[in-house]
Structure 1
Amino acid sequence: MDTPAIPVDEVPFPAVPIRVFILNDHELVRQGLRELLEEEGLDVAGESGSAAEATRLIALLKPDIAVLDDRLPDGTGIEVCRDLRSTAPHVRCLILTGRDKHHAVRAAVLAGAAGYLLKQIGDNNVLVTGIRTAATGHPVLAPEVRERVAESLSATAGAPWLEAMTTQERTVFAFMARGLTNGQIGQDLVLPEEAVAGCVSSVLEKLGFRLSSRLSPAVIPGSGGWLR
C-alpha cells in the first residue's frame, strides 16, 4: 500500500497547532497516539472509543483532523467519516486500518476521507506527515491509488457488488461517487437523512466493506509502530 511521500520537513506548518481527534476503541492505542502527536506539537482536542460518541464530540469540538480507526464495537471509522460530511464538513478524516484491501480504500474514498493509512507501518513520521498534509487540504493517498479507485468506480457495469444493490442503493451510490453528503442526497431524492444513512451503510457493505460490529478487533501496532 502506498503512503504519502512528502518528507516531514516539506509539509508547511500552520500558524496555530493542528487540532486532532482520535477515535480508537483500545485505550492503550489512544494513549500511544496521543503521546506521539503531542510530542510532535499537535493538539489532541479529544478522543473516544465509540463511533457514536465520536460523531457527536467531533461535531462539538470541531477539530481540524479526525484520526479514525476502521473497526469499532459500534460501527466503523468509514461510517463516522461519512456522517461527518453532513455534521462537520470542515473536519478532514484519516482512516487507520490494519488491512491493505482495495475495497476498503474504495469505501474510504466514497466516504469522503482525506486519507487512508496502514497501522503496521513502522515509521511514526508517516502518521504525523499524513495529519499535516491533510491539514493543508491535500489528500493523503498516493495519486496512483486514487486513480485505481476512480477506475474501479467507473467500470461498474456488470460488477457483482453493483448487481447486488437495489435500485435505490444504486442511485445513492451514484450520488456518493459524486461526493454528495447524506443531507444533499436526501434533498435530491426527497428522503429523510436517516434513510439515506441506512442506504449508504448498505452500499458500503455491498462494496465489500463490512460494517458489522461482529468484526474481530483490528491489529494493534507493536513496538515498531505507533506504540513505542
Structure 2
Amino acid sequence: MTPELSARTVLLADDHAIVRMGFRLLLEGVGVHIVGEAESGEEAQRLAAELRPDVLVMDLSMPGCGGLAALERILARTPAQAVLIASAHADAVTARRALKLGARGYLCKRSPPGELLTAVARIAAGQTYIDPGIAPELARGDKSADPAEALTDKEFHVFLQLARGRSVNEVAATFHLSPNTVGTHLYHIKQKLGVQNMAELAMAAVRAGLIEV
C-alpha cells in the first residue's frame, strides 16, 4: 500500500521527451499534477527553484551539467527539495553517489511502471525509496567494486564525463572550470584509481557499471 498521490505536484527532468510523456501519463493517471518539464540540468535547477514541486523526478544523463551536478546545486539552494532519481544506470555505485548527494530515492528505468508510482508516493510522504533491483547490493556496501569511492564529488563528475569520451576542454566548459583545473582533477583521478591513460579510465567506469561499451 502506497500513500495517497492525488494533488501532489511533480516536476519531470529528462532529456527524452518520450520518457517524460510516459511518466506524465502514469502520474496524471493517479491524480498527480505535473507542474513542469525540464530537458537539462540547468533547466531543472531553474524550474525547481521557481515551482517548488513536492517531488522532482530527474534523470542523471542530461545535457549541460548533468543530473548529479544539478542535484547537488538544487539541494544546496533548497535542502528540503525531495528528489527521485530515475536513471538507466541500474548499479549501486551511481545510486550510492546520488543518495550521498541528498536524493531521497533511486529508481531504475527498467523497473515496472508501478514502481514509479510507489517511489513518488513514498518520497512525497517524506519517506525514502530504493529500487528493489539494486537494494541488496546497495545494502552490502561493497566498496571494493566501486573504483570511484575514493573520488570527491567534483572528481566523480569529471570522471564520468571523461570516461564517456569528452575532452578536457569540453568538461571544463560544462562545469565552468578552466582546462587547467580539469587537468588537475584528471591527475588526481588517475592517481586514486590507479589508471595510466584515458582508455584505462574508461574501462574503470565500465567495470563499475557506470557506462556501457
Instruction: Report TM bin, short chain.
Output: 0.5 to 0.7
- For 1:31-68, what per-residue CA distance to the aligned partner results, in whole angstroms no more than 9, with x for missing partners? 22112211111111111101101101101110011111
Matched, 1:134 2:123: yes
Distance verdict in 2 for CA 1:88–1:126, change over 3 Å: same
Q: What secondary structure does 1:132 align onto? A: helix
Distance 2:109 2:70 in 1: 18
Question: In 2 relative to 1, CA 215–74 (structure 1 residues): closer, same or farther, beyond 3 Å?
Answer: farther
State TM-score, norm by structure 1. 0.62
| Aligned residue pair count | 163
Give how far 1:99 is off.
2.0
Render the CA deviation track for 1:73-102: whole Å, top value 9, x for unaligned: 213222222111111222111111112222
CA-CA distance at 1:162 after TM superposition: 6.0
Which residue in 1 is equivalent to 2:106? 116
- 2:154: which partner in 1? 201
Residue aligned with 1:131, SS = helix
1:12 aligns with 2:12: no
| 2:12 counterpart of 1:59 | no
Q: Which of 38, 42, 45 is 2:32 aligned to?
A: 42
Q: CA RMSD of the aligned region, Å?
A: 2.8
Give the superposition deviation at 1:212. Answer: 6.0
Alignment of 1:1-228 (within 5 A): 10-13=1-4, 17-121=7-111, 123-141=112-130, 144-149=136-141, 152=143, 161=148, 165=151, 169=152, 200-206=153-159, 210-211=160-161
State the distance in 2 between where 1:108 and 1:124 align.
21
Match for residue 211 of structure 2? none
TM-score, scaled relative to structure 2:
0.66
SS in 1 for 2:129: coil
Please report how far the alpha carbon of residue 148 of structure 1 lies from its aligned counterpart in structure 2 after TM superposition.
2.8
Segments ≥4 residues shifted beyond 2 Å: 142-149, 159-163, 203-206, 211-216
Structure 1 residue ranges without an equivalent (≥5): 1-9, 170-199, 217-228
Q: Post-superposition shift, 1:12?
A: 2.3
Secondary structure of 2:37's partner? strand
CA distance in 2, matches of 1:98, 1:25: 12
CA distance 1:50–1:213, shift in 2 (3 Å): farther
Contact between 2:86 and 2:108, CA under 8 Å: does it hold in 1? yes
Higher relative contact order, structure no. (Cα contacts within 8 Å, ≥ 6 residues apart): 1
**Alpha carbons 2:40, 2:66 under 8 Å: kept:** no
Residues 126-157 of structure 1, C-alpha deviations (whole Å, 9 max, x = no match): 001100001111110166455334x63xx8xx
Change (3 A) 1:67 1:161: closer
In the TM superposition, what is the alpha-carbon distance from 1:214 to its structure 2 partner?
5.2
Q: State how far apart, in whole Å, the 1-side matches of 2:40 and 2:88 are.
A: 18
